[in-house]
Chains A and B, each alone.
Chain A
Amino acid sequence: DSGVTQTPKHLITATGQRVTLRCSPRSGDLSVYWYQQSLDQGLQFLIQYYNGEERAKGNILERFSAQQFPDLHSELNLSSLELGDSALYFCASSVAAQSAYGYTFGSGTRLTVV
């Protein structure tokens, strides 16, 4: 157990729907990062939050949004889902906004859009 908790582990939904993925960072970590990994693809950086504030933005679609709450957990909202959104979504956390200690990843949420 890495200490980063992601729920749900698996999610199957239909095109056009909206889902929310949840991440609880490791205790003491203030930064949360979201990544998308499609089948046999690399990790695509989506967005980072630090202590409730958006810190960095990657290739995140306008249909996607995220936030980090006062208790530091984060949610990634995916709307108007398309087949191509099927992927593993990873959350990672780190102590600081810029961490040389690496990021600790959760076990991911596998999203299947049918």
Chain B
Amino acid sequence: GQNIDQPTEMTATEGAIVQINCTYQTSGFNGLFWYQQHAGEAPTFLSYNVLDGLEEKGRFSSFLSRSKGYSYLLLKELQMKDSASYLCAPHHNNNDMRFGAGTRLTVKP
């Protein structure tokens, strides 16, 4: 099975940087997805980390440590439209991809 732990809610200011952490315990681990979901909408793909380290993609970066079962999503230069839930999803080799409960991020002016 999987245990996925993320903070429930976070608040940050427009223009700032925020880091959303995710810890997981899972067997047969392949990699880790991050998705963004606005309320009432479908999740959209942000990143997929397989190897340890930081991957940068524009204002968003994602980090993975396989040995520690730890990942984070880093959002820079926050914009109001970044207010959404951010879902961590370990991906393992039986393809049973399960999502964490998500972190609801509120960006304030």
Which residues of A approach B to under 8 Å, CB–CB? Answer: 2, 31, 33, 35, 41-43, 45, 48, 55-58, 88, 90, 97-108
Contacts and interface: CB of A to CB of B under 8 A. Distances in A.
Contacts of B87: 42-43
Q: How large is the interface on B (under 10, 10 to 19, 20 to 34, 35 or more residues)?
A: 20 to 34
A100 B48 contact: yes
Nearest to B95: A98
22 contacts: A2-B42, A31-B95, A33-B97, A35-B99, A42-B99, A42-B100, A42-B102, A43-B98, A45-B97, A45-B98, A56-B94, A56-B95, A90-B42, A90-B43, A97-B95, A98-B30, A99-B95, A100-B31, A103-B45, A105-B43, A107-B42, A108-B41
B93 A102 contact: no
A45 B22 CA distance: 19
Which one of B31, B91, B95 has the highest number of Cβ atoms from chain A below 10 Å of its Cβ? B95
A40 to B, nearest CB: 9
Contact of B96 (A42, A45, A99, A104): A45
